[in-house]
Amino acid sequence: MTSPTSLPVALITGASRGIGRAIADELAPTHHLLLGGRDGAALKELASSYPSAEPFALDVREATASSVEGIDTLDVLVHSAGVLRMGTIAELDDDAWRESFEINVFAVAKLTRLLLPALRAAGGQVIAINSGSGYNSGAGSAVYSGTKFALRALTDALREEERANGVRVSSIHPGRVATDMQAELHDYEGKEYSPGSWIQPSQVAKAVRLAVDAS
């Protein structure tokens, strides 16, 4: 898969909503977008709203070599897909831990590994949407923070490993962002949710733009 234009190519997971959608909006004027997500029909409709875009329908846990076949060069890979599972260690079962690490960590490692040849060919970059929870944890957040600590370890290692190959690696660590995930978190906390009180997805997208455009 190559860009149908001369535009650089950006693959964004979790592109159908929230932060991923905002990143797609931000990069659309300058990139050909591969819009990652599970709902192919919704992604196709979204792609039609951008100057140059196409769906990349995939459950990130199920990525294989055939999933990325044809992506010969890739300028930007943004890992934005993720899940939030809150609960105390006494409450959370094995499935909650397993799903969280499979989506937030293992899938990131696998998709990155599969796309490294294309990233190296383009001198591209990997951008991971992490969280303030990648630096701090607290009651009820062991599994979510655990995945984000692990994601930080992954990207820190990847940065050093790929430096000689010309692949840049950035982690974005926003605080609380006004997304569906934030609504879920407020519901868990038993608090009223006011989207306007929190960081907006477009602000996180601006941070991604800064990383993309940095020399």
**Looking at 135, 144, 188, 193, which residue is catalytic?**
144
Distance CA 33, CA 78 (A): 11
70-108 pLDDT per residue, tens = 999 999 999 999 998 989 999 999 999 999 999 999 999
Q: What CATH number has the domain bearing residue 133?
A: 3.40.50.720
- Least confident residue range of 97-106, 110-119, 193-202: 193-202
Instruction: For the full predicted model, state whether its pTM sits above 0.85.
Output: yes
Containing structural domain, residue 167: 9-213
| Strands 168-172 and 53-57, bridge-based pairing | unpaired
Residue 1 lies in a domain: no
Residue 146, SS3 per DSSP: helix
Domain count, the chain: 1
In terms of residues, how long is the chain? 215
Strand arrangement of the beta sheet that strand 76-79 belongs to: 53-57, 32-37, 9-12, 76-79, 125-129, 168-172
pLDDT higher than 90, residue 26:
yes
Residue 144 is a catalytic residue: yes
In contact, 77 and 123? CB cutoff 8 Å: no
Beta bridge partners of 29: none
- Domain assignment present for residue 2? The answer is no
Asked whether residue 135 is assigned to any structural domain, the reply reads yes
